[in-house]
A and B are shown apart, each in its own frame.
Chain A
């Protein structure tokens, strides 16, 4: 009885963390698919989401919903500025230079966050209370339900945006072949900008909904970013179901590994998976031969 209760607990915690990893992974995938680079500043968007919400909520006493919206808007603006200043002027640079620029940008954003908000960890109140809910002997927080709900909504929105809207289709076209896309009259530059808008918005949202559970600080972006990167690698750089499954799988393995092997190896588990996937299935776990991107 107790064993199954433990197992359920591990699975629930794992899925909740996994959902966050998947959301962060989306950000990586969307930018990768429009620019074919890995944006290592993605984790900083996650951090900015959480920290800005704390800032508006605690220091400016704004109501929760307003604080969250403001945080997403500002993070998105930062995403746009980032694209404008660091990407567009260097359109013809090698991918490796651009990747290094994203690393530089992430250090810059982190440094600025540290100067502005200090080095302290900050807590964000849960959206709807701190009373645990019991499920088959295991417990789950209302915040976990928020995470699941928001993740599902984002997945659906994401899918319908890329499948049905004209902009989404255009972005997909750029992902397949940007030269051909520009030939048929798609403004590739604008699509790149859009991809930054979407991924910084999703990233900040992920940072906001996780903050009440794990708290936030200027340096949370590194680890969360790497976990999201892991998820998207498992998912084969897709911004669809692959990354969702990748994130959930990562969360589950982490939580089960922490529970049944040792909590000290929690982060190691994620990175061992990352290495194994890169060695043996660089196209991702769920992809057929040709990765279905976007």
Chain B
């Protein structure tokens, strides 16, 4: 019984961990908390709707392409001009950008949610002992772990990854030794976009519709996950996101019925408490810009 909740919680936790990772990567490179990150997932959702009739590989590639382009445009048009400003100005810029994209989607796709035809092949349930595990959960966990491994390899072994990590440690020093910050930041946005696209596919696979406001709750979770996990630390971000998803699922399952509607209130109260005890997050990065 309880084990079933844990399985579900691991599924949600993995998805949230991925979400948080995409946000945290950009933050660690340029100190930007990108509120518009959730809108990338929303854009991914709408491209899935547009591509729904295509074969599965076309949906995956197409969505990744669209979201990565959107992510790059975001960096070039909105964030590059304010890069030198304070963290707060950048935060509010991303806030405005998020609002802009959200309302643009409302103008383009209408105020009502667009129905999304279900991917029935994902809802297959496997029975293990007395546990039910859906194919969706397995895919989410496998994809999340693979992405994290791939990201680790990329950061440790490739040239651009090493440059990224150098910029994470000390942007000015990295620039002094000849790392081109424009290229590094753009590549962080590309990776963040790929992750957002994958998140949108995993997220909307379980939803019945996509709406202009779909991105809002996602970015809130990622945002909070990144901050409680520890800003600037990739491991911390993944952990923070995972804990958000894990706690959310367990609170919804285990709270007494009359309190269950307040699950979000409990979750965010826990968030405030965590922040008060550890203002720089569970795993504080060295020299994090908080």
A interacts with B: no
